[in-house]
Chains A and B, each alone.
Chain A
Amino acid sequence: MQQDHQPELRRSVTPWGSYSWGYADVGADIFVALGLVFGVAGGASNVAFLFAGLVYVCVGLAYTELAAAYPVAGGGQYFVMRGLGDFWGFIAGWAVLLDFTIDITLFAWGCVGYLSHLPVLSILDAAAHPMLHFWVVLGFIAGLALLNVIGVRESTAFNGMVSAIDVISETAILFLGFLFTFRPELLVHSMQTGWPDTFQLMNGISLAIISFVGLESISHAAEETSRPASIIPRTSIALILTILIFALAYSNLALGMQPWYPVPHDAAGHAQQFWQWLGATQNQDKAVAVMASNIPYFGIAAAFYVPIFGATLLLISSNSGVFGSSRIAYSMSQFQLLPSLFKRVHRKFKTPVISIAVFCAVAVVELVFAALQGNFGYEFLGDLYAFGAAASYTLVFIALIALRLNDPLTPRKFVIPFNLKMRFRGEDVLFPLVAVLGFIGIFAILIFVLLTHHIGRIAGPSWLVLGIVVYLVYRARKGLPALRSVPRDWNREQVHILKNAGELELMDDLIGKLKERDPNFTVRVS
């Protein structure tokens, strides 16, 4: 039953495939984040997205450099383990696991929310029929778990098709929205009259970061991308800019939008502005569909296809949570960060059945807790999602700095701009100033999460404490060092990584540098 070696993944992902893997994950985030951010940040929502977006650009550049230099599946967990050692690698991986399990529930919830915007499926609305909504979301999670156990998942071609349609669809919404409904003076008015207090703005910024979560997917696809050192930077930068543009465009449009239909009064019977209605509890899980249906003429068609399309994209994203959590757990158990139980594959389907079952069960527990929050269930999930993302991204920045200092010989085809040249342990290194800025930004967001999210500040750290206990018990039982790392020969491993990636020039370059440093260095690359 136990698999002793992992077969190598076939490198068949093209530039568009790499882009669409990332887009299918990150592109769905705005469908979830838009309503949540408007619900708390109100007239400053565009500023919240701007702050989070600039931090995200730094995060994106860090992931681009790391995924191109170390093209292995594992993402942030692998980079942090290599840069900071086993313990911190475990913490980063465990935080990402929290995000993936939340991803399963949050996006399945959002999927049902978008479907409920269709008149024929309005019975699925979470606010109106919470029990039915709960069972349908649960059904989606169980269905995805089953599909992943039997090994059915969307192909790169399917992801590519959905991503292409989504980019066209979102561009149409924004283009026509700006053309027909955008009033710059209304934007100024909304910002001046709806500006929140500092607490709410911090809360909004911390929720806005969830519209940029998912770059992990490009790192996971790196092991299946041909010539990753060249392709990943190209696709990542296009993806970073696309997602930033969508987030800023939606938030500015919503604040300056003159909707086609009159805005209904709020629960107390008061008149409200469009952005207030967009952030209301009943619209938070379907905000993009509400916006699209308020664009003149185009809105008639958009009212039908955007909910279906949004639901499809969110379901794919939810599925990537199931797949991603099982893959991360598998990778962590290979590096002896988690028990080998998570490496076990099903005898017939050859899928990591225990990982899938465990993390889907965690997702169901999160769903139960979210359902118990009543109207704040969606926000509860958003809180936890923001905590996991901020915690793991914080460590990725530190890992980037550590790897620049400790592993200067690994060839980097893409290097983040703005560096400080310096000497460290006898080697010339480039100290990344952008990583320092990004670290300050994401650490600030982590603080915002802890200050403003009542549940996130308890549940998030509790998740980490639970993980640390599991880690320490496992390492003690195996006789492995608890806080130190298992010795590994990273230089030889890096040579093999570059060979497997087909980056032979970079491999020769690395071997040359290693021999220059140590004339006795030998490596077998047959």
Chain B
Amino acid sequence: MRNSKAYGGFKTLNGVIFMVLGVLIIVQLTVRIGLRFEALSGFVLGAALIALGVYRTAVFVRSRK
């Protein structure tokens, strides 16, 4: 299972969802409340989601090479 195509697809999809969620949070905060101090923690949350998504996808892609 761990090295199967289905598992790889799940992991990549998972990573992409994290990235999309991260982008959505950053965009929503920017549009609704702008670049303010109150949004800082939310921006870091969005960045962490994007980082997790990129990391999951990158680890999988690297393991397939």
Co-complex (A, B)? yes
Q: Which residues of A contact B (CB under 8 A)?
A: 46-47, 49-50, 53-54, 175, 178, 184-185, 187-188, 191-192, 234, 237-238, 241-242, 244-245, 248-249, 251-252
Kindly state whether residue B41 has any CB partner on chain A within 8 Å.
Answer: yes
A175 to B22 CA separation, bound complex (whole angstroms)? 12
* Most A C-beta atoms less than 10 A away, residue of B36, B38, B44, B51: B38
- CB of A248 within 8 A of CB of B45, answer yes
Kindly state whether residue B59 has any CB partner on chain A within 8 Å.
Answer: yes
Kindly state whether residue B29 has any CB partner on chain A within 8 Å.
Answer: yes
- CB of A241 within 8 A of CB of B55, answer yes
Instruction: Knowing A184-B29, A184-B33, A238-B56 are in contact, say whether A245-B48 is a contact too (CB < 8 A).
Output: yes
Question: Which chain B residue lies CB-closest to A189?
Answer: B38
Name 26 A/B residue pairs within 8 A (Cβ), A-sorted.
A47-B40, A49-B41, A50-B40, A50-B41, A50-B44, A53-B44, A184-B28, A184-B29, A185-B33, A187-B38, A187-B39, A188-B39, A191-B38, A192-B38, A237-B55, A238-B55, A241-B48, A241-B51, A241-B52, A245-B45, A245-B48, A245-B52, A248-B44, A251-B41, A252-B41, A252-B45
Q: How many residues of B contact A (CB 8 A)?
A: 21
- Expressed in whole angstroms, the minimum distance between the Cβ of B33 and any Cβ of chain A is 5
A50 to B28 CA separation, bound complex (whole angstroms)? 19
Question: Which chain B residue lies CB-closest to A188?
Answer: B38
Q: Which of B6-51 contact A (CB under 8 A)?
A: 21, 25, 28-29, 32-33, 36, 38-42, 44-45, 48-49, 51
- Expressed in whole angstroms, the minimum distance between the Cβ of A459 and any Cβ of chain B is 31
Q: Which 6 A-B pairs have the closest CB atoms?
A: A46-B41, A184-B32, A248-B45, A241-B52, A50-B41, A188-B38
- Expressed in whole angstroms, the minimum distance between the Cβ of B2 and any Cβ of chain A is 8
Question: Which chain A residue lies CB-closest to B40?
Answer: A50
- CB of B42 within 8 A of CB of A252, answer yes
- CB of A248 within 8 A of CB of B41, answer yes
- CB of B52 within 8 A of CB of A238, answer yes
A327 to B60 CA separation, bound complex (whole angstroms)? 34
Q: Which residues of B contact A (CB under 8 A)?
A: 21, 25, 28-29, 32-33, 36, 38-42, 44-45, 48-49, 51-52, 55-56, 59
Contacts of A238 in B (CB 8 A): 52, 55-56
Question: Which chain B residue lies CB-closest to A192?
Answer: B38
Question: Which chain A residue lies CB-closest to B22?
Answer: A245
Question: Which chain A residue lies CB-closest to B52?
Answer: A241
A192 to B36 CA separation, bound complex (whole angstroms)? 12
- Expressed in whole angstroms, the minimum distance between the Cβ of A441 and any Cβ of chain B is 15
Contacts of B32 in A (CB 8 A): 184-185
Contacts of A47 in B (CB 8 A): 40-41
Contacts of B28 in A (CB 8 A): 184
Contacts of B51 in A (CB 8 A): 241
A356 to B46 CA separation, bound complex (whole angstroms)? 42
- Expressed in whole angstroms, the minimum distance between the Cβ of B13 and any Cβ of chain A is 14
A39 to B58 CA separation, bound complex (whole angstroms)? 39
Contacts of B52 in A (CB 8 A): 238, 241-242, 245
- Expressed in whole angstroms, the minimum distance between the Cβ of A157 and any Cβ of chain B is 14
Contacts of B41 in A (CB 8 A): 46-47, 49-50, 248, 251-252
Contacts of A242 in B (CB 8 A): 52
A102 to B5 CA separation, bound complex (whole angstroms)? 44
A244 to B41 CA separation, bound complex (whole angstroms)? 11
Contacts of A185 in B (CB 8 A): 32-33
Contacts of A49 in B (CB 8 A): 41
Question: Which chain A residue lies CB-closest to B31?
Answer: A184
Contacts of B39 in A (CB 8 A): 184, 187-188
A46 to B44 CA separation, bound complex (whole angstroms)? 11
- Expressed in whole angstroms, the minimum distance between the Cβ of B11 and any Cβ of chain A is 11
- Expressed in whole angstroms, the minimum distance between the Cβ of A43 and any Cβ of chain B is 9
- Expressed in whole angstroms, the minimum distance between the Cβ of B60 and any Cβ of chain A is 11
A187 to B41 CA separation, bound complex (whole angstroms)? 11
A39 to B59 CA separation, bound complex (whole angstroms)? 39
Instruction: Knowing A188-B33, A237-B55, A238-B56 are in contact, say whether A248-B48 is a contact too (CB < 8 A).
Output: yes
- Expressed in whole angstroms, the minimum distance between the Cβ of B15 and any Cβ of chain A is 11
- Expressed in whole angstroms, the minimum distance between the Cβ of B38 and any Cβ of chain A is 5
Contacts of A46 in B (CB 8 A): 41-42
Contacts of B45 in A (CB 8 A): 245, 248-249, 252
A178 to B45 CA separation, bound complex (whole angstroms)? 13
- Expressed in whole angstroms, the minimum distance between the Cβ of B18 and any Cβ of chain A is 8
A467 to B26 CA separation, bound complex (whole angstroms)? 48
A185 to B31 CA separation, bound complex (whole angstroms)? 11
A249 to B44 CA separation, bound complex (whole angstroms)? 10
